[in-house]
Structure 1
Amino acid sequence: MNDESSKNRILDCALTLFSTRGYDGVGIAEICAAADITKPTLYYHFSSKEGLYKALWQEKFAPLRHSLTAAAVYRPRPEDYHHDVLPVLAGIIVVYSDFAQAQPAFFRLLSSLLFAPDGSPASVLAREYRDFQFDLLLSLFTDIARAHGNLAGKEPLLAASFPGLIFSNISLGATSRYDAEALARQFMHGIFS
């Protein structure tokens, strides 16, 4: 097995284990056994369990970062409901849904980050990815609030609650493009939508 395939195998096995049992529930010996490698091989590619976890996040989160950044652009059209906020929110939902279908194990890991205690090793190691999502959505809702003054002051709450709605619906199987628009409407208008 060459270096690159060995590294990828370690990442794949670690992802499977971390996504099913959490960071704290997995040891180096288990990762080595699953990847059929020795500890020195793991340490050759990654300096530690922490280094492996960071590398996993760096590699697997990159496509989502790119897609979310492209989707979270608001172009104000308050006079046209169907081309204002709705398509941006639905587009973000679709990005997460598509990502969950393409990378189900990593999406489970990402979802678990929403509920990880702040001081836990997993939360500390993946904080930049959680913060990226919050900051991106905060910026988006700040832009939206400029066109829709009634949202002013609510941007942090919206940025924090929107992913929760998305992630819970994806975990329940609501992933079609129709569901994305319906979910965006529900977020925008509440239970009476």
Structure 2
Amino acid sequence: MNDESSKNRILDCALTLFSTRGYDGVGIAEICAAADITKPTLYYHFSSKEGLYKALWQEKFAPLRHSLTAAAVYRPRPEDYHHDVLPVLAGIIVVYSDFAQAQPTFFRLLSSLLFAPDGSPASVLAREYRDFQFDLLLSLFTDIARAHGNLAGKEPLLAASFPGLIFSYISLGATSRYDAEALARQFMHGIFS
């Protein structure tokens, strides 16, 4: 097995274990056994369990980071409901949904981060990725609030609650583009929509 193939096998096995049992529930020996490698091989590629976890997040999150950054752009058109906030929110839902379908194991790990206790090793190690999502959505809702003054002051709440709604939606198996638009409408108008 060459170096790159060993590294990828370690990442794949670690992802499966971390996504099913959590960061704290997995030891180096288990990862090595699952990847059929020795500890020195793991340490050749990754300095530690933390280093492995960070490398996993860096590699697997990159496509989502790119897609979310492209989708979270608001172009104000308040006079045209169907081309204002709705398509941006629906687009973000579609990005997460498509990512969950393409990378279900990593998406499960990403979802678990929403509920990881603050200060836990998993939360600390993946904070950069959680913060990226929050900051991106905060920026988006700040832009939206400039065109829709009634949202001013609510941007942090919107940025924090929108991913929870999306992740719940995806965990229930709803993934169509129609569902994404319906969910965006639900978020925009609440239970009376």
Task: Pick the TM interval, shorter chain.
Answer: over 0.9
Aligned equivalents of 2:35 and 2:83: distance in 1? 48
Structure 1: tracts of 5 or more residues without a match: none
Aligned equivalents of 1:119 and 1:6: distance in 2? 31
Offset at 1:174? 1.1
Offset at 1:62? 0.1
Instruction: Name the counterpart of 2:171.
Output: 171
Instruction: Name the counterpart of 1:9.
Output: 9
Instruction: Please list the CA deviations of residues 94-153 of structure 1 after superposition, one character each: whole Å capped at 9, or x if unmatched.
Output: 000000000000000000000000100000000000000000000000000000000000
Aligned equivalents of 1:155 and 1:123: distance in 2? 23
Offset at 1:189? 0.2
Work out the number of aligned pairs and report it. 193
Offset at 1:32? 0.2
Instruction: Name the counterpart of 2:29.
Output: 29
Offset at 1:190? 0.3
Offset at 1:17? 0.2
Instruction: Please list the CA deviations of residues 35-80 of structure 1 after superposition, one character each: whole Å capped at 9, or x if unmatched.
Output: 0000000000000000000000000000000000000000000000
What is the TM-score with the length of structure 1 in the denominator?
1.00
Q: Mapping of 1:177-192 within 5 angstroms?
A: 177-192=177-192
Aligned equivalents of 2:105 and 2:166: distance in 1? 17
Runs of 4+ in 1 over 3 A off after TM superposition: none
Instruction: Name the counterpart of 1:146.
Output: 146
**Identical residues among aligned pairs (%):** 99
Offset at 1:187? 0.1
Aligned equivalents of 2:121 and 2:175: distance in 1? 30
Offset at 1:18? 0.2
- Over aligned residue pairs, what C-alpha RMSD do you find? 0.3
What is the TM-score with the length of structure 2 in the denominator?
1.00
Structure 2: tracts of 5 or more residues without a match: none
